[in-house]
Amino acid sequence: MTKHPFWDGLKSYTIITLGLFINALAWTAFIIPSEIVGGGITGLSVLIFYATGFPVGITFFAINIVLIIMGIKNLGLSFGIRTIYGTIVLSVFLGILQQFITEPVVSDKFMAAIIGGILGGGSVGLVFSQGGSTGGTDIIAMIINKYRNISHGKLIMSMDVFIISSSWFLFQSIEVMVYGVVVMGVASYAIDMVLMGHRQSVQMFIFSKKPDLIAEQIANEIGRGVTLINGKGWYSKADTTILMVVVRRYENNRVFRTIKTIDPDAFISISKVMGVYGQGFDPIRY
């Protein structure tokens, strides 16, 4: 069955929207009411909110206009559309949730920092995995990552140190800065874990008496290439065809189901690979 671009796009935007809602919830339910200053443009917007009372959502949207233009120029119109969407939706979610959530969900500040970091970082990773962005320093990280194979989490954390440190001028509290560092440390780890899980690939060797049928189904149903390797069984002395397939980890269950439907007696070997670059996977960087 051929994938339809409309349904693929709808699924992608649904995941992005979910990630944006979770991100807004992390800030409004845990970080902002606990008076913790995180990083990014959201963190800067929170600083302005603490200083002036100006709504976080409006400040966040205004600052992102310039960064969106940079993103369109370096990453293309497709990125710009998703980033504009992400910025608008996240701004709306921040504005709405901040009106209803005025007290932290958990009273312990350290726990709020941990939970907020996990939800905030995991949601950003979810948005990144679909080619979107929550705006702000995420845009800068994606521009750099386009040309250099550097962790999104490390890039964002490096850029956010200045924003977190600037909270000293408002609160004059080392404790606030430490909690901000905790949020960003946990968030950067969560970003990398989500992205690694989404990008992790496996290599499969398939031994079957019906290699052509299996190869055809994998190519048509899953959209992955298949390499046929001529082999010979040592014990049986019979010639055989071995299928080699490289897929994302989340796709291997579909391959298993396809193989089981065609040849339940097939022999399969599967192993993780460090990275896969080229068509259908990550772009080659230097």
Helices (H) then strands (E): counts for the chain: 11, 4
Tokens of 249: 């980890």
pLDDT of amino acid 1: 44
Nearest CA-CA partner of 228 in 239, 241, 216: 241
Residue 40's H or E segment, with its range, is helix 40-52
Read off the pLDDT of residues 183-233 as tens digits, 9 standing for 90 and up: 988 988 888 788 776 667 888 999 988 989 999 988 888 888 898 999 888
**3 state DSSP class of 34:** coil
pLDDT of amino acid 2: 46
Measured CA to CA, the distance from residue 156 to residue 136 in angstroms comes to 10
Query: For residue 141, which amino acid is it?
Result: A
Q: Where are the domains of the chain?
A: 5-198, 201-273
pLDDT at position 148 over 50 = yes
pLDDT at position 276 over 90 = no
Query: For residue 266, which amino acid is it?
Result: A
Measured CA to CA, the distance from residue 62 to residue 48 in angstroms comes to 12
Stretch 277-284: mean pLDDT: 68
> CB of 168 within 8 A of CB of 177?
yes
Read off the pLDDT of residues 163-172 as tens digits, 9 standing for 90 and up: 898 889 888 8
pLDDT of amino acid 155: 78
Indicate the fold that domain 201-273 takes in CATH: Alpha-Beta Plaits (3.30.70)
Residue 272, classified by CB atoms within 10 Å of its CB into exposed (0-12), middle (13-18) or buried (19+), is exposed
**3 state DSSP class of 230:** strand
pLDDT of amino acid 39: 85
